[in-house]
Amino acid sequence: MPKNQAWTLASYPSGWVVEDNFKLIESPVPSPKDGEVLVKNLWLSLDPYMRGRMSKAQSYAKGVEIGDVITGETAGEVVESKHPGFKRGDKVITGQRMGWQLYGCAKGETLTAVDAERAPLSTYLGCLGMPGLTAWFGMKEIGAPKAGETVVVSAASGAVGSVVGQLAKAAGCRAVGIAGGKTKCDYVVKELGFDACVDYKAGNLQRDLKAACPKGIDVNFENVGGEIFDTILPMMNTFSRVIVCGLISGYNATTPYEMKNIRSILVNRIRMQGMIVFDWNQRYPEARGALAGMLQQGKLKYRETVAQGIESAPKAFIGLLKGENFGKQLIKLA
Amino acid sequence: MPKNQAWTLASYPSGWVVEDNFKLIESPVPSPKDGEVLVKNLWLSLDPYMRGRMSKAQSYAKGVEIGDVITGETAGEVVESKHPGFKRGDKVITGQRMGWQLYGCAKGETLTAVDAERAPLSTYLGCLGMPGLTAWFGMKEIGAPKAGETVVVSAASGAVGSVVGQLAKAAGCRAVGIAGGKTKCDYVVKELGFDACVDYKAGNLQRDLKAACPKGIDVNFENVGGEIFDTILPMMNTFSRVIVCGLISGYNATTPYEMKNIRSILVNRIRMQGMIVFDWNQRYPEARGALAGMLQQGKLKYRETVAQGIESAPKAFIGLLKGENFGKQLIKLA
């Protein structure tokens, strides 16, 4: 008889997340009520936004409370269905309420059936999932790059950034990544096809970014924030766009980074917009279909870092926040 | 025989502008070449943007060089015309290249004929001029306030801010101003019809602004920047808009104010956009016509601070940068 295991919040992190903030609990596998579906989770997605939920600070979504299962999406298989839209064996991705656990019941409306023949199941958490959709809507709806423009994206080897750069190339733009270390930068240029990638750990961010963007920057897809963002701002061209998608560099800071170069917004008439992908959730099928088409044509490359077993989740998550992952960070649950 | 007098740049300010940065020179009244018009300037407009031109720092327009006449628009009367579109006695407003002087020749294309019967000539430098147009396009094209929303504007008693608030009221919004001192705040509420005005000099900006905006802020028309802007940002609602029009609090600073609350852009999906009114210069007649209509109907109130004679310009400009003016700052030249 299988047992459920779930990671819950033991304490709120102050500053950096530590493994003691999590507690693994065991419980019976639950039974679905009417309208619900029992999912066996095969893959757990780890994403930077989860750090925001492990906090009492006001944000766009309710935070996790002590004892709650940590927020997170999974890809899995239907074990038992009391919802007419799903049957045993269906492959699905779940909403964030599923959380870091082996089994869970969810209302049918919160699940999305996916075609695991068309693309590997795990990609529905990566380039065809929330990160890929984030890149898609940010670029289409805010960045709106035109051929010949320069697009800069930070965390370029990550799940979102890697798609952003490939969408920029598909739009005929110069794609410039920012990533930490030579290995990631080489991957971004040689495997993903970016025109350049700047290693922010090399210590010459401003100089190297200027060299990589000889015509300035027209679109900045911001995943990192802090000093990287502040260095980019003065290099933005007239009428350029900034997609504020993530500020991971500040998620574990106890005091916020202080931005010095706000004046560039005025001088260069920058349009800057914060985004949460859920705001476009009615349009996911359209975007997922387009991304899946690119994937099948070999025009959307991706990389995964897979940690094995639910036990590995807290450590892998801490590594993700420190940039130790390479591509999409996943936990293989079964 | 009249003489021309002009204020030129004697030295670049470092930090606060001082009177020694200016030098008054005398010269013969110039003669227009073919296609040019000689204008006798009757009113000189003083505006915060001029501080940006008195600098070697890169901005959206070329700076003033040592010995050049200080940038500025005027309202005046045609003395002699060698352009078919203008004749002696016509009332005109000039482009910024006219500058701080009593007489000047300008290409006919840079002049705009105005109807001084419809509204006083000076208003074409204020609520019907560049400041009014700035308020108009910022609100229409970026802020896009909907009835019932809350609009906050800093420098609320100034030439731009006063129009912003009255446009907000005309759109059915709650208009909240920020100004320095009780006299200005009283004027903003009692004369201009704002719903509330917060005195930033009273020392409780955050508390007072929260009280004045019980439903948060949907549109922030930012004229001041710095601490005021940073206090507003966390109070912005989901899907709110920020018009970055001016950052006067930083214009005389030697190091930039450091913004702490950038995270709100992400969390609240704020759309923030820098603006320079010239970007809409093809649409000035439409906007000026609408504002003139409001003025004639008594729905657009304004206030002017008038200093007498060209000698008074540097001192009045320094006062403007310190917020000592009350409404539109003008110099009456003749």
Q: Give the whole-angstrom CA distance, residue A236 versus residue A176.
A: 13
Whether B321 contacts B49, CB under 8 Å: no
- Parts of chain A belonging to CATH 3.90.180.10: 3-125+303-332
Residue A23 confidence (pLDDT) above 80: yes
For A62-117, the pLDDT digits (tens) are 889 999 999 999 999 999 999 999 999 999 999 999 999 999 999 999 999 999 99
Which CATH number does the domain B130-278 belong to among 3.40.50.300, 3.40.50.2000, 3.40.50.720, 3.90.1170.50?
A: 3.40.50.720
Determine the Cα–Cα distance for residues B17 and A43; give it in Å rounded to an integer. Answer: 62
Q: Which two tokens stand for residue A227?
A: 């000093």
Task: List the 209-228 stretch of A: residues with Cβ below 8 A of B.
Answer: 225
Task: Outline which parts of chain B fall under CATH 3.40.50.720.
Answer: 130-278
Nearest to B106 by CA among B52, B157, B37: B37
State the smallest CA–CA distance between residue A281 and chain B in angstroms. Answer: 15
Q: What is the pLDDT of residue A59?
A: 72
What is the average per-residue pLDDT within B45-51? 94
Instruction: Indicate which of B236, B240, B266 best probes the interface with A, i.e. most A CBs within 10 Å of its own CB.
Output: B266
DSSP B210-223: HHH-TT-EEEEEES
CB pairs under 8 A between A and B: 99
Count Cβ atoms within 10 A of the Cβ of residue A249 and give its class: 0-12 exposed, 13-18 middle, 19 or more buried: buried
A29-50 residue pLDDT tens = 999 999 999 999 999 999 999 9
Residues 6+ apart with CB under 8 A from A129: A45, A73, A75, A93, A123
Q: Are strands A91-93 and A112-113 parallel, antiparallel or unpaired?
A: antiparallel
The identity of residue A228, as a single letter, is: I
Cα angle: A87, vertex A90, A94; to 5 degrees: 105
Determine the topology of domain B3-126+302-332 in CATH.
Quinone Oxidoreductase; Chain A, domain 1 (3.90.180)
CA distances from B18 to A23, B15, B22, B72, B246 (A): 64, 9, 8, 18, 21
Spatial distance between the Cα atoms of B196 and B185, rounded to a whole number of angstroms: 8
Q: Using a CB–CB cutoff of 8 Å, tell me whether B61 touches chain A.
A: no
Beta strands in chain A (DSSP E): 3-9, 22-28, 36-45, 74-81, 91-93, 103-107, 112-113, 150-154, 174-179, 196-199, 217-222, 236-244, 271-274, 304-308, 328-332
What is the pTM (predicted TM-score) of this model? 0.92
Closest residue in chain B to residue A269, using alpha carbons only: B274
Q: Tens of pLDDT along A105-148? A: 999 999 999 999 999 999 999 999 999 999 999 999 999 999 99
pLDDT of residue B252: 82
pLDDT digits (tens, 9 = 90+) for B183-221: 999 999 999 999 999 999 999 999 999 999 999 999 999
Q: Is B272 on the interface with A (CB under 8 A)?
A: yes
Q: Judge whether A30 is closer than 8 Å to chain B, CB to CB.
A: no
Q: Which of A235, A214, A232 is nearest to A224 (CA)?
A: A232
Domain with CATH 3.90.180.10 in chain B: 3-126+302-332
Q: How confident is the model at residue B239 (pLDDT cuts 50, 70, 90)?
A: very high
Res. A248: pLDDT tops 90: no
- With 80 as the cut, is the pLDDT of residue A173 above it? yes
Count of other CB atoms within 10 angstroms of residue A91: 18
Contact A90, A78 (CB under 8 A): yes
Percentages helix, strand, coil for chain B (3-state, rounded to 5) are 35, 25, 40
Q: A245 CB near a chain B CB, below 8 Å?
A: yes
If you write DSSP's letter for every residue of B166-217 in order, what string do you get? HHHHHTT-EEEEEESSHHHHHIIIIIT--SEEEEGGGS-HHHHHHHH-TT-E
pLDDT recorded at residue B145: 98
CB-CB under 8 Å, B268 with A274: yes
For residue B286, pLDDT beyond 90: yes
- B146 falls in which pLDDT band (50, 70, 90)? very high
Q: What per-residue confidence (pLDDT) applies to A4?
A: 98
Confidence label for A323 from pLDDT (cuts 50, 70 and 90): confident
| ipTM summary value | 0.91
Quote the tokens at residue B212.
């004045």
Say if the Cβ atoms of A269 and B273 lie within 8 Å: yes
Largest Cα span, chain A: 65
- Sorting pLDDT into bands at 50, 70 and 90, what band is B255? confident
Q: Do A259 and B258 touch (CB under 8 A)?
A: yes
* pLDDT single digits (tens) B160-184: 999 999 999 999 999 999 999 999 9
A262 inside 8 A of chain B by CB: yes
Where does the pLDDT of residue B119 fall: very low under 50, low under 70, confident under 90, or very high at 90 and above?
very high
Instruction: Kindly tell me if the per-residue pLDDT of B1 is higher than 80.
Output: no
**Average pLDDT taken over every residue of chain A:** 96
CB A139 within 8 A of CB A54: no
**What's the gap in Å between the CA of B257 and the closest CA on chain A?**
6
User: What are residue A197's DSSP bridge partners?
Assistant: A177
Residue with tokens 């008074």: B312
Q: What pLDDT does B61 receive?
A: 78
For B260, counting Cβ atoms within 10 Å of its Cβ (0-12 exposed, 13-18 middle, 19+ buried), the class is middle
Q: Which fold has domain A3-125+303-332?
A: Quinone Oxidoreductase; Chain A, domain 1 (3.90.180)
Task: Report chain A residues whose CB lies below 8 A from the CB of B272.
Answer: 265, 270-273
